[in-house]
Amino acid sequence: MDPNLSRLLIIDLSSKTFRIEERTSLFEERIGGAGVAIRLLHEFCPKGTDPLGPDNPIILAVGSLSALFPLASKCVAMFKSPLTGNLGESHAGGRTATSIRMAGFGAIVITGKSSQPVYLSITHNDVQFLDARSLWGMARGDTIARIIRTIDGNPGTRTILRIGRAGEQLVRYAAVTSETYRHFGRMGLGAVFGSKLLKAIVISGDAAIPVNNIKGYRLLYDQIFDAVTKSPIMKKYHDVGTAVNVLPLKSLGSIPIKNLTTSQLEKSDQLTGEEFVSNYLARRLACSHCPVSCIHLAQLRTSYPHDPYFFKTTSVCYDYELIYSLGFTLGIANPKQVLSLIDEIEGTGMDAMSSGVVAAYVTEAMKNGLITSDMTGGIELEFGDTSSYMQFFKNLADQQIPFYKNLGKGVDYTSQLYGGSEYALAFGKNEMPGYHTGLAAIIGYLTGARHSHLDSAGYSVDQKPKQSTPEEIATQLYNEEAWRQILASLVICFFARGVYSEEMVQKCLEVSGISKTIDDLVLLGKQILYEKYQFKFREGFSFRNMRIPSRITTHPSGTGLISEKDIRKGIETYENLLLSSGTGPAQSE
Amino acid sequence: MSTRRLAVIDANRCVGCQCCMFACNRRLGVGGLSRSAIHISSVGGISRGFSVKVCRACEDPPCADVCPTQAMKRRDGGGVKFHQDICTKCGSCMNACILGAITWDNENNVPIVCIYCGICARYCPYQVIELEDISGEM
Ligand code: SF4
Ligand code: SF4
Ligand code: SF4
Residue A156 has pLDDT above 80, yes or no: no
Query: What does the pLDDT read at residue B86?
Result: 95
Query: What does the pLDDT read at residue A589?
Result: 45
3-state secondary structure of A12: strand
Residue A311 has pLDDT above 80, yes or no: yes
Residue A585 — very low, low, confident or very high, per pLDDT cuts 50/70/90?
Answer: low
CB contact under 8 A, A209 and B29: no
Residues with CB under 6 A from ligand 3: B 14-20, 40, 52, 124, 126, 128-129
Residue B2 has pLDDT above 80, yes or no: no
Ranges A292-306, A370-384, A507-521: which has the least confidence = A292-306
A221/B contact by beta carbon, under 8 A: yes
Residue A255 has pLDDT above 70, yes or no: yes
Supply the CATH classification number for the domain A239-420.
1.10.569.10
Residue A543 has pLDDT above 50, yes or no: yes
Distance CA B77, CA B59 (A): 7
Residue A10 has pLDDT above 90, yes or no: yes
Supply the CATH classification number for the domain A430-580.
1.10.599.10
Q: How far is A530 from chain B (nearest CA, A)?
A: 32
Q: How far is A146 from chain B (nearest CA, A)?
A: 7
Residue range A276-304: mean pLDDT, rounded: 93
Residue A538 has pLDDT above 80, yes or no: yes
Contact residues on chain A for B44, CB-CB shorter than 8 A: 149
> Hey, what CATH topology would domain A3-205 get?
Aldehyde Ferredoxin Oxidoreductase;  A, domain 1 (3.60.9)
What is A172-223 written as a DSSP string? TTB-EEETTTEEE-STTHHHHHHHTTEEEEEE-----B--S-HHHHHHHHHH
Q: Where are the domains of chain A?
A: 3-205, 239-420, 430-580
Distance of CA A144 from the midpoint of ligand 3 (Å): 26
Task: Return the DSSP state at A432.
Answer: P
Distance CA B57, CA A271 (A): 48
CB contact under 8 A, A289 and B19: yes
List the residue whose alpha carbon is closest to atom 6 of ligand 1: B55
Residue B137 has pLDDT above 70, yes or no: no
Q: How far is B47 from chain A (nearest CA, A)?
A: 6
Q: In chain A, whose CA is at the least distance from the CA of B41?
A: A156
Residue A152 has pLDDT above 80, yes or no: no
CB contact under 8 A, B16 and A315: no
CB contact under 8 A, A225 and B107: no
Identify the residue with better confidence: A302 or B37: B37
**Distances, alpha carbon A101 to alpha carbons A68, A77, B62, in Å:** 10, 15, 35
Query: What does the pLDDT read at residue A583?
Result: 63
Residue range A194-203: mean pLDDT, rounded: 97
Q: In chain B, whose CA is at the least distance from the CA of A68?
A: B31
Identify the residue with better confidence: A143 or B11: B11
pTM for this model (two decimals): 0.95
Residue A521 has pLDDT above 80, yes or no: yes
Helix ranges (DSSP H) in A499-563: 502-511, 518-538, 551-554
Query: What does the pLDDT read at residue B3?
Result: 87
Residue A372 has pLDDT above 70, yes or no: yes
- Of the candidates A501, A258, A499, the one whose C-alpha atom is nearest the C-alpha of residue A359 is A258
Helix ranges (DSSP H) in A124-168: 141-151, 165-168
Please name which ligand lies nearest the alpha carbon of A70.
Answer: 3
Q: What is the pLDDT of residues A39-80, one digit of tens each?
A: 999 999 999 999 999 999 999 999 999 999 999 999 999 999
Ranges A115-124, A133-142, A282-291, B71-80: which has the least confidence = A133-142
3-state secondary structure of A123: strand
Instruction: ipTM value, please give it.
Output: 0.94
Residue A148 has pLDDT above 50, yes or no: yes
Other C-beta atoms within 10 Å of A550: how many? 12
Q: How far is B56 from chain A (nearest CA, A)?
A: 19
Residues present in chain A in total: 589
Residue of B9, B34, B38 to test ligand 2 pocket, by largest number of atoms within 8 Å of CB: B38
Burial class (CB in 10 A: 0-12, 13-18, 19+), B2: exposed
**Dihedral of CA A142/A144/A148/A150: which sign?**
positive
Contact status, residue A92 vs residue A178, Cβ threshold 8 Å:
yes
**B10 Cβ contact partners less than 8 Å away, ≥ 6 residues apart:** B127, B128
Residue A3 has pLDDT above 60, yes or no: yes
Q: What is the pLDDT of residues A471-484, one digit of tens each?
A: 999 999 999 999 99
Burial class (CB in 10 A: 0-12, 13-18, 19+), A373: exposed
A578/B contact by beta carbon, under 8 A: no
H or E stretch including A361? helix A352-367
Among A221, A293, A297, beta carbon nearest to B47:
A297
Please name which ligand lies nearest the alpha carbon of B16.
Answer: 3
- Of the candidates B72, B69, B75, the one whose C-alpha atom is nearest the C-alpha of residue B93 is B72
Distance CA A202, CA A95 (A): 11
CB contact under 8 A, B107 and A291: no
Please name which ligand lies nearest the alpha carbon of B100.
Answer: 1
Q: What is the pLDDT of residues B31-78, one digit of tens each?
A: 999 999 999 988 877 888 999 999 999 999 999 999 999 999 999 989
Residue range A391-408: mean pLDDT, rounded: 97
Distance of CA A233 from the midpoint of ligand 3 (Å): 21
Within this chain, domains A239-420 and A430-580 share the same CATH topology: no
Residue B138 — very low, low, confident or very high, per pLDDT cuts 50/70/90?
Answer: very low
Residue A19 has pLDDT above 60, yes or no: yes
List the residue whose alpha carbon is closest to atom 2 of ligand 2: B117
Contact status, residue A59 vs residue A90, Cβ threshold 8 Å:
no
Query: What does the pLDDT read at residue A586?
Result: 52
Residue B136 has pLDDT above 70, yes or no: no
